[in-house]
Structure 1
Amino acid sequence: MTLAFDGTVIVPAADPDDGERTARGLIPHLTPTTTVVLVNVIEKGGGTPDKAPMDRRREYAEEIFERMRGVLEETDTAVETDVLLGTDIVERIFDEADERGADAVVFNPRKGNRLAELLTGDVARRMVKEASIPVVALPQQDS
């Protein structure tokens, strides 16, 4: 049995390579009734200086979306994009899912070592543990 998404799915991506891998992994699970909402969360400092200028970060999000749309254009799926701002990436993704009435959050876990996960807060692990709707981790694709 193959998993298929018939409604709205939120698909976060952190960088262009991550986005392209995720889009490729998503294709077998799409139907003509799927709406894919590609999101990139710009993490705000919450009172501290931002990591990079906002304009540059928005341009980077557009690079991510462009790569993902390039992969998804071969499908009949509706694709939307949204740059999200928030101090907590995971919370912001689920807030967006709630606002859009999404059926699931779908992502491709990035490879990383345990030390990097500990230092960064391991967004993927938190997405699964703090899920308010189903979360689907796509299988790793060979590049």
Structure 2
Amino acid sequence: MVLTFDGRVLVPVADPDDGERTAAALAPYLGPESSVLFVNVIEKAGGAPDKASVEQREAYAEEIFERARGPLADRAAPVETAILFGTDVVETIFDAAEERDVEAVVFEPRGGNRFVELLTGDVARRLVKKAAVPVVALPRTDD
């Protein structure tokens, strides 16, 4: 069985390396009718001061998107990007997925040990457990 995405997929990306790696892992699974929506969630502090200004975070998101577009440059799939804001990354991703009528949320799990996952809230695990649309974890390409 070969997996191919023939609709719109939402791809959350956290940093430039993650964006590039995830796009490279996604490329072989795109079909002729595919479209890709890369999103970066700017996590709001919920009343506490933010670590960086919105302008700095938006500029960083644009850097992420630029790197993510690279591996898909020779694909026919249209690529869109969106900066999302929310206090809960996973909820924000699924809200966007439902609003934008995507076929699936697709990501490549990032490396890290269990301790790091506990400290960071383990977004990948929560994506799978709280899925509001199909979620696909791509095989890691850096191992």
Please give the range of the TM-score, normalised by the shorter of the 2 chains: over 0.9
Equivalences for 1:9-88 in 2 at 5 Å?
9-88=9-88
Which position in structure 2 is the counterpart of 1:123? 123
* Offset at residue 35 of structure 1 (A): 1.1
CA distance in 1, matches of 2:33, 2:76: 8
Amino acid in the other structure paired with 2:141: Q
Q: Deviations over 1:24-60 (max 9, x none)?
A: 0001100121110000000001111112111110000
Amino acid in the other structure paired with 1:129: K
* Offset at residue 132 of structure 1 (A): 0.9
* Offset at residue 142 of structure 1 (A): 2.8
CA distance in 2, matches of 1:89, 1:51: 16
RMSD: 0.9
Amino acid in the other structure paired with 2:125: R
Which position in structure 2 is the counterpart of 1:95? 95
User: TM-score normalized by structure 2?
Assistant: 0.98
Give the 3-state SS of the residue equivalent to 1:31 in structure 2. Answer: coil
* Offset at residue 64 of structure 1 (A): 0.5
% of aligned pairs identical?
Answer: 64
Amino acid in the other structure paired with 1:67: R
Give the 3-state SS of the residue equivalent to 1:19 in structure 2. Answer: helix
Amino acid in the other structure paired with 2:6: D
Give the 3-state SS of the residue equivalent to 1:49 in structure 2. Answer: coil
Q: Deviations over 1:105-130 (max 9, x none)?
A: 00000001111111111000000000
Q: Which runs of 4+ in 1 moved over 2 A?
A: none
Which position in structure 2 is the counterpart of 1:106? 106
Give the 3-state SS of the residue equivalent to 1:50 in structure 2. Answer: coil
Q: How many residues align?
A: 143
CA distance in 2, matches of 1:103, 1:88: 22
Q: Deviations over 1:53-105 (max 9, x none)?
A: 11110000000000111111110001000000000000000000000111100
Which position in structure 2 is the counterpart of 1:134? 134
User: TM-score normalized by structure 1?
Assistant: 0.98
